[in-house]
Amino acid sequence: MEQRRLDVRLSCALILPSAVPTSKPASQPPKVTRRAWSWRSPAFRGLVYQVLAVAVLVAVVGFLVHNTLLNMRLRGIQSGFDFLWGPAGFDIGEGLFTFDSAQSYAMALLAGLLNTLRVALLGIVLTTVIGVWVGVGRFSRNALLRGLCRAHVEFFRNVPVLLQLLMWYLVFTEVLPDALEPWRWGSVFLSKGGLSFPSPVWSDGVVLWDVPFLGEFAVEGGAALTPEFMALLLGLTLYTSAFVAEVVRAGIASVPAGQIEAAQALGLSPRLQMRLVTLPQALRVIIPPLTNQYLNLTKNSSLAVAIGYPDVVSIANTAINQTGRAVECIALIMLVYLFTSLSTSLCMNAYNARNALRER
């Protein structure tokens, strides 16, 4: 009987394990929540340090501006931007719109800004085309073509850009023939007076062509590019294209060899391999340093003052000499290049994000 009772108890214990007393789990310590505005919070301390740093920076800048204005006032130097609305008193021989001396300094600076943007935008396009072709040519099977591309890179990359601008300016003003005896290719004329070519003209909804012709003293009619503009554009384009070519070469070299072998296995020609396989993958490596080269080209356009091209820096220098507002004019120049650089970076960053790899 006792043995039977013991077996029943053991069976109940196996069927109902909850009836067996178990030890209570150890209680976890309560979580310590720190207040968001507590000094013990790293985020709050970081915010305080940032606010203090900005306050110190603003105080230093304010102190420098106050002392500068005070010293200028004691020396009888005028300050302010009111001079922008006064007559400039000088002409601008080249620009996207006609400017005369009766217009304001603001319009003169606008004309200089448009001249700067014209060189920068056209230079970026030409630099990209030449740089990509030279960079791709470094991988050509033709030894002569590879040598010419390498020579282009080594020469234009290692000669200072200012010397190149002066060299091209001397070519256009000293080597070319006089305006009365220009080189001619159909309706295109090239001489010391510049490059003249036909330009479209709208008249009553119809496109007419204004064709240049050789006049009594010079080429007349059509559109024209001055020697200063051509020297600046050509110098900046060739100089920057050498760096762009190296960026393209490095991007192509970064593509894994297995990708090239797979393209060859599919029977693609070398041209299709480069266009459909290599370059699309190399763009992810090319775009970031390419942005820096675009920024350098835009900022190097300020060297136009050395060859007499009326960009924003050249016109600002003239305004400084006439008005004495050096601080204001330099501040405007800085704002112009800051705006152009940030705009270029914004566009290139958007294009880079479009071509970036996307994780699934």
- pLDDT (tens digit, 9 = 90+) per residue, 91-127? 888 888 888 888 999 999 999 999 999 999 999 999 9
pLDDT at 268: 83
Residue 10, pLDDT > 50, answer no
Residue 34, pLDDT > 70, answer no
Reported as a single tens digit per residue, the pLDDT across 66-80 is 887 788 777 777 777
Both tokens of residue 194? 């510049």
Domain coordinates of the chain in residue numbers?
A: 105-355
Residue 300, pLDDT > 50, answer yes
Q: By C-alpha distance, which of 240, 245, 247, 347 is closest to 300?
A: 240
**pLDDT-based confidence at 358, cuts 50/70/90?**
low
pLDDT at 91: 86
Kindly report whether the global pTM for this prediction surpasses the value 0.85: no
pLDDT at 112: 92
DSSP letter, residue 86: S
Q: State in words which class domain 105-355 has.
A: mainly alpha
Contact present, 199 and 209 (Cβ < 8 Å): yes
Contact present, 297 and 165 (Cβ < 8 Å): no
pLDDT at 6: 45
CA dihedral 313, 315, 318, 322 (to 10 degrees): -120
